[in-house]
Amino acid sequence: MENIKALAFDVGGSVFDWQTAVRRKVRLLADRHGAKIDDHEFAHAWRRRMFEMLAEVRHGDRPHCNADDLHREALDELVPQYKGFDLTASEKDDLTMVWHALDVWPDFPAALVRLRERYKVVILSVLSYSILVDSSKHAGISWDGLLSCEFLRKYKPSAEAYQQCATLLRLAPEQVTLVAVHPPDLAAAARAGLRTGYVKPKIHEAGSDGDPSPFDIKAEDYGDFADQMCR
């Protein structure tokens, strides 16, 4: 790992705690409408449908668009499935904006400061550029760069997304480490030629299952990851 020059972080679930923010907002809206909603089930169904739509974009079955468009469109499909949860178009727009004010895991900011002293540290995410900017600002953290796949025109886990990240940093793929809590994302990055850093997830979610043993770095938390990368 001594040749590593840059770290590219996945952020949805890896750095940003989307579950807490989304579930809290869903509960507020459900209470307003007097609807009995399992906010955990709704939040995960919403995210799952967004990723299904994103796969359609990757495969050319849906026009190119960003995560904000997909989050909003998914709500139009999802909300009618929940009795009494009769959200207006304005409320759906407001709910979609919850992705723009996500908190980060408490151990991440200090680790980020340490890592930036030694490496180029960027985001590589399927989330929209606007989400990345707004949630980073909301959390009070700064990066060396923000790469949203909406601009790369290739969404992870397509190999081109990881490779374009390295190219834009003027580095070879093997000089870049993808950092994530999702083994499938890391496995795709490894196939594209990047090195890999696995951090144990704080909360279970889709994609966080899998064997972390093949990855170059395996950390219990972000403090542990920074210790291993900065020694």
Q: What is the 3-state secondary structure (H, E, C) of 5-62?
A: CEEEECCECCCEEHHHHHHHHHHHHHHHHCCCCCHHHHHHHHHHHHHHHHHHHHCCCC
Please report the pLDDT score of residue 26 as a whole number.
98
Q: Which CATH code fits 18-100? A: 1.10.150.240
Please report the pLDDT score of residue 153 as a whole number.
86
The helix/strand/coil state of 209 is coil
- Is residue 1 scored above 80 in pLDDT? no
Please report the pLDDT score of residue 209 as a whole number.
84
- How does pLDDT run across 162-172, given as a tens digit for each residue? 999 999 999 99
- How does pLDDT run across 107-159, given as a tens digit for each residue? 999 999 999 999 999 999 999 999 999 999 999 999 999 999 999 989 999 99
- Of the two residues 226 and 209, the one the predictor is more confident about is 226
User: What CATH architecture is 6-17+101-230?
Assistant: 3-Layer(aba) Sandwich (3.40)
- Is residue 102 scored above 80 in pLDDT? yes
The pLDDT of 72-90, averaged and rounded, is: 96
Please report the pLDDT score of residue 205 as a whole number.
85
User: How much is the mean pLDDT over the chain?
Assistant: 96
Whether 6-17+101-230 and 18-100 share one fold: the answer is no
Segments making up each domain of the chain, as ranges:
6-17+101-230, 18-100
Bridge partners (DSSP) listed for residue 16: 12, 104
Please report the pLDDT score of residue 2 as a whole number.
82
**Which stretch of 44-58, 83-97, 106-120, 198-212 has the lowest confidence by average pLDDT?**
198-212
The pLDDT of 63-73, averaged and rounded, is: 96
Amino acid at 14: S
- How does pLDDT run across 186-211, given as a tens digit for each residue? 999 999 999 999 999 999 888 788 88
